């Protein structure tokens, strides 16, 4: 991977990008990671460049790509966030800071970790771009899993499947989701993966190519007659999606293999419906397989027309019909929306409103097994998420202080609190905590009672009640001292 490859990729989407800044970030990262090697034996810089390249591929905005190159600098080198801020401005620095905070989360058993990550991702919803960087970082890490010991490899693959994949789905970033799934599938179920890979990508390849040429020829002729501009592509199904389908529906290999899949891209929405009509007049559709996700998009924003027809030789053939823009959206999800917004100019914003709308829609989903339905918009409207040094996540109302945090962790920690480290820096107990802060309470072991003055600034009812309770006990104990012999 070279910086030129990244530059070329960026220029495809963004002709005005300031390439000099990109080169400067490259030189900076090169200097910072100098001499560092990854477990694979390759230079560390390689990882930074890969991360940035995938970000460019999914059309992330320019600062996100810069932050991608720099994402491991504060964590792994002697250069600090301050240095990054000085050189590349506060927007880039904030993104890198977000990533650095994410890496503070430690693995503490799959169940717990998953909950933590879910909360954390939501917390980072105030700048989704951090998540994009994290995804691209993770994608490169799993692409190079081979170099790790088996136990770690399996752990990372599992974690990716359980945490990253559903979130990529939630954000509609299909290209990352399916890539991550197929890589993890390979490690988690190696036998099944090999079998499927052979059958689908080797055995069936010739047949598939012949068949799709035939279908394309027939369809193209009709589309030309109707003067509809079009692109028709073979759609290779990700192996994991076949595997899942087989499991879910308990169907045999061939029933799923033998389904051919094509994508038709046309200029406008009305062309989509016309094309659907043409396909149905050519071949008989399966009645229960017609889906109009243009009129009624999926909750993650996905739009397309789907149909399965009995094509030539009575072979089941799936069509996706969509516009180019819909296709890009389905590949790049959230990132594509930024791209279109940026291109359109004026109303570019850090947290697009539709992200909230997605989350809201998702939260209305009735699917109880899905974590998404736990996500209520109000959860992160006025909640913040902070981390303990062990990597546990605690959510608090906005405006909470270290004392609120301390009482949430444990009453005794609240009672004995004397100081606090926020992100490894000394701070005061009345400081307003920020989303993503790492909070470490310093306690004085001998201390028994909290400070009443804390009532002036604590936000949570829990902290208030605990302080009042202990204060009553304290007064009582003073009373006992003053009046010897008083009944306890």
Per annotation, catalytic residue among 18, 61, 75, 181: 75
Q: Which of residues 123-142 bind Mn ion (CB under 5 A)?
A: 137
Within 10 Å of residue 146's Cβ, how many Cβ atoms?
A: 10
Give 70 or 375: the residue with its C-beta nearer to Mn ion: 70
Q: Shortest gap between Cβ of 399 and Mn ion (angstroms)? A: 33
Give 76 or 162: the residue with its C-beta nearer to Mn ion: 76
Give 72 or 318: the residue with its C-beta nearer to Mn ion: 72
72 is catalytic: no
Q: Shortest gap between Cβ of 71 and Mn ion (angstroms)? A: 6
Under 8 Å CB-to-CB from 482, ≥6 apart: which residues?
Answer: none
76 is catalytic: yes
Of the candidate spans 10-18, 69-77, 166-174, 274-282, the one that interacts with Mn ion by CB under 5 A turns out to be 69-77
CA distances from residue 227 to 220, 271, 305, 306 in whole angstroms, order as listed: 10, 10, 20, 22
Q: Shortest gap between Cβ of 67 and Mn ion (angstroms)? A: 11
Establish if 72 lies at the interface with Mn ion (CB under 5 A). Answer: yes
Give 70 or 408: the residue with its C-beta nearer to Mn ion: 70
Q: Nearest Cα to 51, choosing from 103, 116, 118? A: 103
Q: Shortest gap between Cβ of 103 and Mn ion (angstroms)? A: 8
Q: Shortest gap between Cβ of 470 and Mn ion (angstroms)? A: 44
Give 141 or 308: the residue with its C-beta nearer to Mn ion: 141
Q: Shortest gap between Cβ of 418 and Mn ion (angstroms)? A: 36
Q: Shortest gap between Cβ of 75 and Mn ion (angstroms)? A: 8
Of the candidate spans 64-72, 258-266, 287-295, 327-335, the one that interacts with Mn ion by CB under 5 A turns out to be 64-72
Cα distance between residue 2 and residue 147, in whole Å: 22
- Contact status, residue 333 vs residue 177, Cβ threshold 8 Å: no
Q: Mind spelling out the 3-state secondary structure of the chain?
A: CCHHHHHHHHHHHCCCCCHHHHHHHHHHHHHHCCCCECCCCCEHHHHHHHHHHHHHHCCCCHHHHHHHHHCCHHHHCCCCHHHHHHHHHHHHHHHHHHHHHHCCCCCCCHHHHHHHHHHHHHHHHHHCHHHHHHHHHHHHHHHCHHHCCHHHHHHHHHHHHHHHHHHHHHCCCHHHHHHHHHHHHHHHCHHHHHHHHHHHHHHCHHHHHHHHHHHHHHHHHHHHHCCCCCEEEECCCCHHHHHHHHHHHCCCHHHHHCCEEEEEECCCHHHHHHHHHHHHHHCEECHHHCEECCCCCCCCCCCCEEEEEECHHHCEEEEEEECHHHHHHHHHCHHHHHHHHHHHCCCCCCCCHHHHHHHHHHHHCCCCCCHHHHCCHHHHHCEEEEECCCCCEEEEECCCCHHHHHHHHCHHHHHCEEEEEECCEEECCCCCCCCCCEEEEEECCCCCCCCHHHHHCCCCHHHHHHHHHHHHHHHHHHHHHHCCCCCC
Q: Pull the structure tokens for residue 35.
A: 């001499």
Q: Shortest gap between Cβ of 131 and Mn ion (angstroms)? A: 14
Length of the chain in terms of residues written: 488
Give 137 or 271: the residue with its C-beta nearer to Mn ion: 137
Give 72 or 271: the residue with its C-beta nearer to Mn ion: 72
Q: Nearest Cα to 166, choosing from 100, 98, 117, 95? A: 117
The footprint of Mn ion on this chain (CB under 5 A) covers a number of residues equal to 2
Of the candidate spans 72-80, 180-188, 211-219, 222-230, the one that interacts with Mn ion by CB under 5 A turns out to be 72-80
Which residue number places its CB atom closest to Mn ion? 137
Of the candidate spans 71-79, 123-131, 173-181, 363-371, the one that interacts with Mn ion by CB under 5 A turns out to be 71-79
Cα distance between residue 239 and residue 404, in whole Å: 48
Give 97 or 137: the residue with its C-beta nearer to Mn ion: 137
Give 144 or 423: the residue with its C-beta nearer to Mn ion: 144
Per annotation, catalytic residue among 46, 76, 115, 392: 76
Q: Shortest gap between Cβ of 273 and Mn ion (angstroms)? A: 45
Please give the residue ranges that form the binding site for Mn ion (CB under 5 A): 72, 137
Catalytic residues: 75-76
């Amino acid at each position: 991977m070279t910086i030129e490859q990244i530059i070329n990729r960026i220029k495809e989407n963004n002709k005005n990008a300031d390439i000099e800044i990109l080169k400067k970030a490259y030189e900076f990262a090169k200097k910072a990671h100098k001499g560092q090697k990854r477990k694979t034996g390759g230079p560390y810089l390689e990882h930074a460049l890969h991360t940035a390249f995938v970000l460019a591929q999914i059309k992330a905005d320019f600062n996100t790509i810069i932050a991608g190159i720099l994402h491991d600098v504060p964590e792994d080198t002697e250069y600090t966030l301050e240095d990054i801020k000085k050189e590349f401005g506060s927007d880039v620095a904030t993104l890198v800071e977000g990533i650095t905070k994410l890496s503070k989360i430690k693995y503490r058993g799959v169940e717990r970790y998953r909950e933590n990550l879910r909360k954390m991702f939501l917390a980072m919803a105030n700048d989704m771009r951090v998540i994009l960087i994290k995804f691209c970082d993770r994608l490169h890490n799993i692409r190079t899993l081979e170099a790790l010991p088996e136990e770690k490899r399996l752990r990372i693959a599992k974690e990716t499947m359980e945490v990253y994949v559903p979130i990529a789905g939630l954000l509609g970033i299909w290209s990352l989701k399916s890539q991550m799934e197929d890589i993890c599938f390979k490690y988690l179920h190696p036998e099944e993966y090999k079998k499927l890979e052979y059958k689908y990508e080797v055995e069936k390849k010739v047949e598939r190519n012949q068949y799709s040429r035939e279908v394309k020829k027939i369809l193209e002729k009709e589309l030309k007659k109707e003067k509809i501009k079009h692109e028709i592509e073979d759609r290779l199904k990700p192996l994991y999606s076949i595997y899942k389908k087989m499991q879910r529906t308990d169907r045999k290999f061939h029933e799923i293999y033998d389904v051919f899949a094509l994508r038709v891209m046309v200029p406008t929405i009305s062309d989509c419906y016309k094309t659907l009509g043409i396909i149905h007049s050519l071949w008989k559709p399966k009645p229960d397989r017609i889906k109009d996700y243009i009129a009624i998009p999926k909750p993650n924003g996905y739009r397309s027309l789907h149909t399965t027809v009995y094509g030539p030789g009575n072979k089941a053939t799936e069509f996706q019909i969509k516009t180019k823009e819909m296709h890009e959206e389905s590949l790049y999800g959230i990132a594509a929306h930024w791209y279109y917004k940026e291109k359109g100019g004026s109303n570019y914003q850090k947290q697009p409103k539709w992200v909230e709308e997605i989350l809201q829609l998702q939260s209305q989903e009735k699917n109880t097994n899905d974590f998404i339905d736990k996500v209520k918009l109000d959860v992160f409207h006025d909640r913040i998420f902070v981390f303990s040094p062990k990597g546990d996540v605690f959510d608090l109302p906005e405006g909470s202080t270290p004392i609120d945090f301390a009482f949430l962790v444990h009453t005794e920690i609240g009672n004995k609190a004397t100081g606090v480290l926020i992100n490894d820096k000394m701070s005061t107990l009345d400081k307003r905590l920020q989303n993503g802060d790492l909070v470490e309470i310093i306690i004085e072991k001998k201390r028994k009672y909290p400070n009443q003055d804390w009532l002036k600034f604590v936000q949570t009812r829990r902290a208030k009640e605990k302080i009042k309770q202990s204060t009553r006990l304290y007064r009582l104990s003073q009373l006992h001292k003053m009046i010897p012999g008083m009944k306890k």
